[in-house]
Chain A
Amino acid sequence: EVQVVESGGGLVQPGGSLRLSCAASGFSVSDNYMNWVRQAPGKGLQWVSLIYSGGSTYYADSVKGRFSMSRDISKNTVYLQMNSLRDEDTAVYYCARDPNGYFSFESWGQGTLVTVSS
């Protein structure tokens, strides 16, 4: 069964850092496009980042230079390192799998909540 499970969310002060994890099962992260999508409380969906099967990464302008996406193939896990966090980064962060490179997100985790507040 295909599954992704996010972890690592929590409360952090502005300017702080956090690393989110997305553990995959039932498929290999190295064979899929993996994405992070976030949703601020009561708001819509916002794409954050993508890692290609080949390892290239792409980011939304709002997080470029502050967030970094990576993966550990041996652990079948992708990560989102978030630095210099701002109030507006408060959101539920979802890990989403795109198995075909069609930029349609077929499998999602349950999300992990990141709250940036002093």
Chain B
Amino acid sequence: EIVMTQSPATLSVSPGERATLSCRASQSVSTNLVWYQQKPGQAPRLLIYDASTRATGIPDRFSGSGSGTEFTLTISSLQSEDFAVYYCQQFNYWPPITFGQGTRLEIK
């Protein structure tokens, strides 16, 4: 099973600043990597697929990069609605499809 490790567990950033979230795979997953955003009491929302392609309707301040075992989600200028938990997910080796444990992005 591929283990996905996200860091940091919690990231404190001020509105308007840049946030950089990391996701590491226990072995190469190529670019078969997806990012989601989840707000309290809500279902996850698809942000990025294929490691770097924004999903429909996702603002361009969200960007994904990486391949192999190291991936990054960058939010260029944080808006109030961006404070949430972010998850990465791989599907290169499945079953199972596996998620990271999440990074909580909080207001500094």
Contacts and interface: CB of A to CB of B under 8 A. Distances in A.
A46 B99 contact: yes
A109 B87 CA distance: 17
B43 A106 contact: no
A4 to B, nearest CB: 9
Contacts of A47: 89, 95-99
A29 to B, nearest CB: 18
B99 A108 contact: no
A45 B91 CA distance: 14
Contacts, number: 59
A35 B43 CA distance: 14
Interface residues of B, number: 24
B40 to A, nearest CB: 11
Contact of B43 (A58, A60, A61, A109): A109
B87 A44 contact: yes
Contacts of A106: 46, 55-56
A27 interface: no
Interface in B59-93: 87, 89, 91
Contacts of B45: 108
Contact of A108 (B43, B87, B89): B43
Nearest to A102: B49
Given A50-B97, A102-B49, 6 more contacts: A47-B95, A94-B43, A103-B91, A104-B49, A106-B56, A110-B43
